[in-house]
Structure 1
Amino acid sequence: MTMGTPSAATGDLHWAHTLLAKLSAVLFVLFCIIGLTAFSIGRYATDMYHQELTQRLNLDIAEHIAADQPLMQNGQPNLAALKDLAHYAMVINPTTEIYLLDPTGKVLGHALPEASVQVDTVQLAPIVAFISGSADLPLLGQDPRNPDKQKVFSAAPIVEQGQLQGYLYTILGGKFYDNLSVSVQDSYVLTISSTAIVVAVVFGFLAGIAIFHLLTRRLRRLTRYVEVFQRGDFSEPFNPPLSNARHSDEINALMLAFKAMATRINHQYTALKELDRNRRELITNISHDLRTPLVSVQGYLETVIIKHDSLNDSEKLTYLKKALRHGKRLRKLIAELFELSRLDSNSLQPKIEQFHLLELLQDLAQDFTYQASRRNIRLSVLPPSGEFCVYADIAMIQRVLENLIENALRYTPRGGWVKVLLEEDDQQVSVHITDSGCGITSHDIPKIFDRFYRGSRLGAKDTGTGLGLAIVKRILDLHHTPIQVKSAPDRGTAFTFSLPSQLAAH
């Protein structure tokens, strides 16, 4: 699997469920709403414009009609003159309808069919506002033929001998206008306007889809990379293409975040594989190291039992001593496995206290004196006097020193030497354990602290468990202090670590 070929990934996601489809649907609904709103506002604005224009053009028509002939005589309506004027006005403008009102708004006369007039009284407030000139145009008034509908009008007061006798009320868009308006709903202008709005909405929608397609292209590409990464074994690096834009956007930030997460997953996956490999190797080593002394003990004991009558006491003692030696080795291995397990589980934490490191080393040197003298190895602790106070867990540090000294004695040939040197400064006490043994190759040095790793000590007969240095490393890790190793074949080995001194602890 190669992360460089994301096009090989085919998602199971249906197009209708993609982000692009959802954005397109939202955009379509939005453009439809915008189109309908624009169409409605356009029609309303056009209608209001037409009404205002009509009212302004006919602003004084009622006044001119009222001045042409007397419409009130002795307080009575002159219906004949009203009909003549209405006929004359309708010839000039068929949409005009004329009504004669008394001062209370009651309809006194008109030139229309009686059945067509639906109300007897017209609201006077718009008429008074129109005559006063205080209202903004278009000003709408009640249509007697359609009381539920407001229309533009012209009005003039009828005055006789200084007394208000009524009003001439002229509707500028009457029934004829309504019928004509309905008949031209599908006219060329409305069709062109509607078509233009629909075309603009469709064009905007398609342009929006194209823009969304471009904007979500990197997101779709990231999705394909994620699918490829998911279907792989998490071992390949995740390298999505990043934008060359000077200012990165959210998609770039998402790519970088996922890249960081994928890198972390890769590292964790590699670490888990290494951990699994180490676990398998550990089980194999434990099985081998436990089986070898156990088989030896069983073999020696069976030999004594089977050949009991043919062996003399000296031979029996020899076999029993060998069985005992392998039994002790088995017990030591089990004890060290248990100790290392406790150290790894973090259930065992250092109990920090002050103690004299030199006194501890001198006691340990006495314990190893017999083992060193048997092999003619000089074991020395330098300097011979001083306090060298440190802060650490005394039992754990004793275990570290025991393992390192025992390890040095094991790999030092007869006639060699092992030295333990202490050096103190204002902050810490350094411990150097040096031997004249066979040394360690540069290939083995990075691995000597691994469990059951014995390496290839030149000319050395390894009788250890392979856990001593692993225990040393774990204890010093718990004390947050590193350990250094310097060695070369046939030139010996030096282990060095440091512990905080009394001055540093304060």
Structure 2
Amino acid sequence: MEPDQNNLASLFPSVAAQLRGAMSNLYLAASQLCPAAARELDPELDARAALLDQSYYQLLRLVTNLSAAARLADDGPFPLQDRDIVALVSELCSRTAALAPLRGIELRFLCAMEQHICALDPESLEQLLYHLLSNAFKFTPAGGTVTVELRSARKQLLLSVTDTGCGIPEDRLLTLFDRYLHGENRDPLPHGMGLGLPLCRRIAEGHGGMLMAESRPGKGTRFTLALPDRQVGGSVRDVPFDYSGGFNRTLLALADALPADAFLLRSQT
């Protein structure tokens, strides 16, 4: 029997809530066993603790996706506010570019606009872009390039993430955005449950836009988010959605795509 999407989406946040409490206790215990002061004095301890931190961030990333999965059952618009999309994307790319050398790749940001105000949901748009960058990092070999481009065209804003990685077979493109419903199409571990891209598509639709993918095996992949180029007059969301839980958002978003060295104390200063 084909699983019901709405039932799955409503179940995931409940599972996430139960996991989050136990994970908080685990993180507190680990922090007490490996305090920062001791890690600074002992590189070997820091290396072991970095592996522990990475594993925690990977679990937190999964739990965050499970929490956000309730959005998959909702087809309504997102609450939007007028923000400078150039500044938002530029800042995120700057933070991510600093970590790209740990993967042996280069991150480029291309944008001819100095500023552009449009209606968006900052937290969810950031989440979408981080998901796309994480996927690009995972599948781009050392020496490759990930390019983020933001441009305006025909009353739309086009935000694309292009990599020089392995590409996606044509048959997998057909179910790329609903893989969590199709177990046979999920990525192998540690690449997750396949929730990321469905969430990205939902975020695009919540903005009144769409998310498209194009790829050729061996030639890389491009995801393009098309958003209406509009403003709403400064409507602000009442309660912000902090998907990071107070942790480093960049490390959280890229936890599956970065080596453990990214979690060493010296890499975070």
Aligned to 2:67: 338
Segments of structure 2 that go 5 or more residues without pairing to the other structure are 34-41, 234-269
Aligned to 2:247: none
**2:53 partner SS:** helix
Say if 2:97 and 2:108, in contact at 8 Å, map to a contact too: no
Segments of structure 1 that go 5 or more residues without pairing to the other structure are 1-272, 305-312
Aligned to 2:217: 489
Say if 1:429 and 1:500, in contact at 8 Å, map to a contact too: yes
Find the partner of 1:408 among 133, 136, 142: 136
Residues 1:327 and 1:366: Cα distance change in structure 2 (over 3 Å): same
Cα shift at 1:374: 1.4
Find the partner of 1:379 among 81, 95, 107: 107
Say if 2:213 and 2:222, in contact at 8 Å, map to a contact too: yes
Residues 1:377 and 1:455: Cα distance change in structure 2 (over 3 Å): farther
Alignment-mate amino acid for residue 329 of structure 1: Q
* Distance in 1 between residues matched to 2:85 and 2:50, nearest whole Å: 37
Give yes or no for the alignment of 1:274 onto 2:9: no
Give yes or no for the alignment of 1:325 onto 2:40: no
TM-score normalised by structure 1 residue count: 0.36
Say if 2:212 and 2:224, in contact at 8 Å, map to a contact too: yes
Say if 1:422 and 1:430, in contact at 8 Å, map to a contact too: yes
Find the partner of 2:157 among 429, 435, 450: 429
Alignment-mate amino acid for residue 135 of structure 2: N
* Distance in 2 between residues matched to 1:448 and 1:329, nearest whole Å: 21
Q: Deviations over 1:133-180 (max 9, x none)?
A: xxxxxxxxxxxxxxxxxxxxxxxxxxxxxxxxxxxxxxxxxxxxxxxx
Identify the structure with bigger relative contact order (alpha carbons < 8 Å, sequence gap 6+).
Answer: 2
Find the partner of 2:208 among 473, 480, 483: 480
Mapping 1:211-360, distance limit 5 Å: 273-276=1-4, 320-341=49-70, 343-346=71-74, 350-360=78-88
Find the partner of 1:448 among 172, 176, 181: 176
Find the partner of 1:368 among 86, 89, 96: 96
* Distance in 1 between residues matched to 2:4 and 2:192, nearest whole Å: 25
TM-score normalised by structure 2 residue count: 0.64
Residues 1:314 and 1:391: Cα distance change in structure 2 (over 3 Å): closer
**1:274 partner SS:** coil
Say if 1:381 and 1:421, in contact at 8 Å, map to a contact too: yes
Cα shift at 1:428: 1.4
Say if 2:112 and 2:151, in contact at 8 Å, map to a contact too: no
Give yes or no for the alignment of 1:420 onto 2:172: no
The number of residues matched between the two structures is 209
* Distance in 1 between residues matched to 2:229 and 2:75, nearest whole Å: 26
Alignment-mate amino acid for residue 104 of structure 2: N
* Distance in 2 between residues matched to 1:401 and 1:389, nearest whole Å: 18
Aligned to 1:33: none
**2:97 partner SS:** helix
* Distance in 2 between residues matched to 1:454 and 1:434, nearest whole Å: 26
* Distance in 2 between residues matched to 1:382 and 1:464, nearest whole Å: 29
* Distance in 2 between residues matched to 1:278 and 1:440, nearest whole Å: 27
Alignment-mate amino acid for residue 90 of structure 2: Q
**1:414 partner SS:** coil
Mapping 1:6-45, distance limit 5 Å: none
Cα shift at 1:348: 8.4
* Distance in 1 between residues matched to 2:73 and 2:63, nearest whole Å: 17
* Distance in 2 between residues matched to 1:277 and 1:348, nearest whole Å: 16
Cα shift at 1:456: 7.7
**1:497 partner SS:** strand
Cα shift at 1:461: 7.9
* Distance in 2 between residues matched to 1:502 and 1:477, nearest whole Å: 15
Alignment-mate amino acid for residue 344 of structure 1: L
RMSD, matched Cα: 3.8
User: Greater CA radius of gyration, 1 or 2?
Assistant: 1
Cα shift at 1:383: 2.0
* Distance in 1 between residues matched to 2:97 and 2:230, nearest whole Å: 29
